[in-house]
A and B are shown apart, each in its own frame.
Chain A
Amino acid sequence: MVDKDTSSAGEIVPAEKTGTISRRQFFTGVGGLGVGIVLGGTLFNGLLLPDEVIAIPASQGYLLVDSKKCQGCNTCMMACSLTHHGVQSLSLSRIQVIQDPFAKFPDDKYIAQCRQCADPKCVTACPTGAMHVDTETGVRTVDVAKCIGCQECVYACEFNVSRAGWNFEEKHAQKCDLCLNTPFMDAEGGPGGQQACVAACPTGAISFVSEIPVQSDAGYEVNLRDEGWAALGYPIDDEGKVSPAEAALAE
């Protein structure tokens, strides 16, 4: 399972959905891929730089995953539904782990987590502002009171396994909010706080970072494996193609 192409950065998003930033911030942000590109009603073609641009603030946090380290126990999914909704459900989880028991490693697992996109198509697609960017944290999340159930966000997400999900129990869209709104978790969530999936993962296959990863498939699928992992007999090279025994032989 492969993510769709994500390299479309020129979408125009209505400015009123976002805050404003200065031109300097815009440059800084783009240089570091720190913001989604949004122009206040002006076409941006790379030549024309307006005095003021309106950008979607970058999220202050991101989830990185290592599917080669994932043991497929779905604990992250149960942690997600538990802390957000107070129930155990895989369908209501905002992180999804998809597996094929008969597939060959490392193609046997795929972790689908929200990327908090710099250019969030789910936010763009929402006609009511329900899917929005949290002004304090930059987290892309849902104001359920504004959600009209059109599912445009679900269809707009560019990834196969749409990261914008439809909560068919409570009848609204939902997506990973980095645990910003977790009524059933005592610890503070959101960027700077605790993420339930990261805290619960037994093997350490999910991590939280503040800096936006490189915008490619590999940018979110990272290598979280270390020498301790190799001691268990598992490969620690990026591709998962060289076992510790083979690595020792090569040396």
Chain B
Amino acid sequence: MATGGYVGKILRLDLTARTSSVIETEKYVQWGGGHGIGSAIFWELCTDKTVTGRDPKNVVTLMTSPLSGTMAPSASGRVEIQGIGTAGYPINWFTRSNFGGRFGGQLKYAGWDGIVLEGKADSPIWIDIINDKAVFRDAKDLWGKDTQETQQLIWELKENEEHGWTEIGKTRDSGRTTQKPAVITIGPAGENQSALGCLVHDAGNAAGQGGFGAVFGSKNLKAISVVGTGSIEIADPAGLFNARIWAKDEYAAAPGQQVEPNGPTFGVDPAPVFLYAKNPDGPMGPQACQGCINGCRARFETGIANESSCQETSMYKAFDVLAHGEGTDASYIATDLVQKMGVNSYELMQGMGYLYALSKMGVLGKGLEIDTDIDMSRIGEADFVIDLVDKISNREDIGEDLADGFVRAAEKWGRLEKDYAAGILDFPYWGYANHGYDPRAELEWGYSSIMGDRDMNEHGFNANFWSVIKHMMAGMEMPVSAEEYAKITTSKMVPYQDDMSMVDYSTENMYSESFAKLVVWQRHYTRFWKQSALYCDFRYPDFTNYNREDNVGITGDGEPKFWNVITGQDITFLDGIELGRKIWNLDNAIWILQGRHRDMVQFASYIYDIPLENSLVGPYYPMAGKVGDEWAYINTLGRSIDRDGFEEWKTHFYNLEGWDVASGWPTRETLEGLDLAFVADALAEAEKLGGV
């Protein structure tokens, strides 16, 4: 029973009929929020789970959590989006993405815990949500506009502004706000249903992976705008305020002060995360998602690439340096461009590397085997990326081939296997671009991605890589030894907390049951605490926190503390992880109905055949690991994944999940143990129940 956090209603929109209805949230509270509720609704409403992402029968959910729009630190601003994607290979899995900003808060203030999209509009529309009213509006004036223009045009429709407050409705008491409507929109890439199309909100929040831009485009849905003036009930208001101050005082950086470098964790300072070859050095100010304990982005004196951080700031780096020997404005222009055009920068970054390799091989270019008008000699210049993004967005030239992603383009060009074999098509799992944290070195990133549906993009264990790298580059000593890191981290990994070998990244341990436990824990932890409760990936889990003398982070204590004071429930950290297990099992059942089997759970061939020699920062990829009996930060480069070893690891994984090791399908016993008998029934009907 929850007495706070939820606002009680989910907005169900039938785009075909242009009608709306209400789903009572209470029915789904057992799934927590965000991803859990999204999966449960998708399971029920998407009756044929084998449809493609662009099929009108595809059901899309945008879900908040009880924590959205509240003071829960770095958990207030994110929204989970789910549905069948367009960017996967060989199957477009039921997938997820997630974006920050302030959309989730506004949606809750408007009185909605989430949105369900069904069907397809017969002409372009946008959805205008103002408190409890949702209106389907004609999008002919927005179609063709970039993401910035679209949002600004919608904001211009704001009416009744008086004394800086926008009055909602016509009565004194119908609500008022000073805030701009929060808009999630596609750009031209999404309109033209390119799998590289993503959803963008404000200047720099994007749901990039999964190809949801094409899904919106296929539904003729340009944008959703929401503004709300209502309130969210909180079970223990004073408790929430006290908890926020506790987190700030005990774990966060001192306000406005630089702290010991770390990877993406709770204790870092509000410095923007830039990965440009030449980072901006002009005047700028900090920018954060709603409720963040310390933001990771900035806005600039130039206004160019506002709110961009991390990967999207690195997407043109290599090419910029290739062309100029150093970072230039071309990188800022490229980053700004993908935000405005709504293009997935991960896919584009690795894709440009692939195009460059093909051009150097004499395969791609004007009049060549893969004929293109794009001048490959200009790669690294601003005009090159502008031309390429334009062609992708409009499905012109090779942009048409790339409309289903680079891997399917390679297949179409008859080059998939040989370019995988050569290692030039760096898309290791399910057709998704390598995140830069290669499966051969950072094992959990690869294993979690391949056991799931996409590049997982979860930095919990990756944070240690960045911590060590930053200390190395600064010539500083790590605040914790590898053994201390392992001890602190694994102590929080309930229910497997007694096994320190879980975080041993050594080659000797890479196929072990212990390492399978890490991935199982990660799948369950993130499915609930990060993707359902919507704690931000850039701040949680917080294993090590250098603002504290004991270096012990907030994870384990913080997540349930905020959940409980907001909802009035009394759950433990482990309760959340166990709910994550249940949600993960539901997701896996959907993949199985789509065609998942153990045999197809494989990386691209180069991951097995070509040792990794460099990380994204050079010839070193430090992770914790054991050398003999001693813990150290070891270099995990120089190795590939062994095919038999990986099969051994998969068997450990399936055993830990209670899934049939031959097929990877769950057993009835496992599903019923999770109160998922209805899922077992559905799998049995499809003759895909494990252990039968």
Contact = CB atoms under 8 A, between A and B. Distances in A.
A124 to B, nearest CB: 16
Nearest to A200: B244
A169 B109 CA distance: 13
Contacts of B306: 101-103, 108
B178 A96 contact: yes
Nearest to B303: A104
B535 to A, nearest CB: 15
Interface string B164-187: 110000001111111110000000
A71 B71 contact: no
A178 B298 CA distance: 30
Interface in A87-140: 87-92, 96, 98-106, 108-109, 112
A14 interface: no
Interface stretch (B268-276, B365-373, B459-467, B673-681): B268-276
B173 A104 contact: no
Interface in A146-176: 149, 151, 154-155, 157, 159-162, 165-166, 168-169, 171
Contacts of A243: 281-284
B152 interface: yes
B255 interface: yes
B595 interface: no
A160 B164 contact: yes
Nearest to A150: B172
B286 to A, nearest CB: 4
A91 B109 contact: yes
A241 B258 CA distance: 21
Contacts of A23: none
Interface residues of A, number: 76
A200 B240 CA distance: 11
A226 B608 CA distance: 51
A199 B283 contact: no
Contact of A233 (B238, B284, B287, B299): B284
B interface, size bucket: 35 or more
Interface in B269-324: 269-272, 281-295, 298-303, 306-307
A218 interface: no
B493 interface: no
A186 B244 CA distance: 13
B76 interface: yes
B258 A228 contact: yes
Given A87-B232, A88-B234, A168-B176, A196 B105 contact: no
Contacts of B203: 101-102
B656 interface: no
Contact of A112 (B109, B178, B240, B257): B178
Interface stretch (A29-37, A48-56, A77-85): A77-85
A240 B285 contact: yes
A82 B71 contact: yes
A69 B70 contact: no
B163 interface: yes
B152 A202 contact: no
B282 A162 contact: no
A231 interface: yes
B281 A74 contact: no
Contact of A234 (B69, B252, B286, B294): B286
A89 B109 contact: yes
A58 B203 CA distance: 42
A181 interface: no
A131 to B, nearest CB: 15
A96 B179 CA distance: 9
Interface in B48-102: 69-71, 76-77, 102
A162 B299 contact: no
B228 to A, nearest CB: 8
A27 interface: no
Given A73-B292, A89-B109, A91-B109, A232 B172 contact: no
Nearest to A167: B173
B242 interface: yes
Interface string B633-669: 0000000000000000000000000000000000000
Contacts of B303: 102-105
Most buried by B among A78, A98, A224: A78
A88 B299 contact: no
Most buried by A among B230, B237, B244, B290: B237
B164 A233 contact: no
Nearest to B229: A91
B148 interface: yes
The 9 closest A-B pairs by CB, nearest first: A161-B164, A204-B255, A245-B281, A87-B231, A184-B237, A101-B202, A162-B163, A86-B237, A228-B257
Interface of B: 69-71, 76-77, 102, 105, 108-109, 148, 151-152, 163-165, 172-180, 202-204, 229-234, 237-238, 240-242, 244-245, 248, 252, 254-258, 269-272, 281-295, 298-303, 306-307
Given A86-B234, A161-B165, A205-B256, 20 more contacts: A71-B288, A72-B287, A74-B105, A78-B291, A86-B233, A90-B179, A91-B230, A102-B306, A105-B284, A108-B285, A149-B172, A157-B163, A165-B165, A186-B241, A186-B242, A202-B255, A202-B294, A229-B256, A234-B286, A235-B283
7 contacts: A71-B295, A88-B231, A91-B109, A91-B230, A98-B178, A103-B299, A151-B172
